[in-house]
Amino acid sequence: MTAIVGPSGSGKSTLLYCLSGLEKSVSGLVSLLGKEITQMGVSELTRFRRRHLGFVFQSYNLITSMTVEENLALPFTLRGKRLPRQKSDELLRYFGLEGQKKKSVTLLSGGEQQRVALARVLLSDVDIIFADEPTGALDQESGAKVMQVLKSLAVDSGKTVVVVTHSDEVAGQCDRIVEVRDGHVLNADAEGGARA
């Protein structure tokens, strides 16, 4: 689990977008799971992203015209598959959202929407999760729960989690901290608070 930290406007989100193939960098290369994604064409990259990468953003990136369950089903629909309903119901129960699945996501609180976004990532069983200030819009308690889930993805499920954060507390829980300043990485090799 890696934290990306740095002042506002320093390039944290840009770095995350380049790492996850959402944005093209003008130089350098990005290698994920042994594949150089900077060499991939658009359709290969899209397939790779759908299969292996998950995203959690500050603004939840849920489809507001859909219900909770439809949002969870989206990554499967895009792959021509069906939502695994039992697993999906289990996750909704875990997140305390079991009564909400037929509701439009716009009727949910911020904390609930972020948990739907997380449930969607968990359900799609990707290898790498990129999170851009996932607790930024949440109260402390909801934020702590979201971080707990991200951490357990790394610790219990062996996933790679890359999280952009302003919070020293969040960064301190990560295995590694990457500091960004004025568009440059200061300390790519630094160890995080887990050791300190």
Binding positions for ligand ADP, rule: CB under 6 A: 6, 8-14, 183
Decide which of ligand ADP, Mg ion, none touches 27; Cβ closer than 5 to 8 Å per partner kind: none
- Min CB(34)–ligand ADP separation in Å: 25
- Min CB(15)–ligand ADP separation in Å: 7
Which residue lies nearest Mg ion, judged by its C-beta?
13
Phi-psi region of 138 (alpha: psi -120 to 50; beta: other; left: phi over 0): beta
| Burial degree of 101 (CB within 10 A; 0-12, 13-18, 19+) | middle
| Residue 30 vs 66, nearer CB to ligand ADP | 30
Nearest to 146 by CA among 84, 83, 96: 96
Helix (H) or strand (E) holding 107: none
Q: Which two tokens stand for residue 168?
A: 């020293």
Decide which of Mg ion, ligand ADP, none touches 6; Cβ closer than 5 to 8 Å per partner kind: ligand ADP
| Number of residues lying near Mg ion (CB under 5 A) | 1
Q: Taking contact as CB under 5 A, which single stretch among the options 6-14, 90-98, 107-115, 142-150 is the one that binds Mg ion? A: 6-14
| Residue 16 vs 91, nearer CB to Mg ion | 16
Q: Is residue 70 within 8 Å of residue 106, measured between CB atoms? A: no
- Output the DSSP codes for 37-68: GGG--HHHHHHHHHHHEEEEETT----TTSBH
Nearest-angstrom CA–CA distance, 79 and 82:
9
Residues 11-70 close enough to bind Mg ion by CB under 5 A: 13
| Residue 122 vs 162, nearer CB to ligand ADP | 162
| Residue 15 vs 32, nearer CB to ligand ADP | 15
Q: Return residues touching Mg ion (CB under 5 A).
A: 13
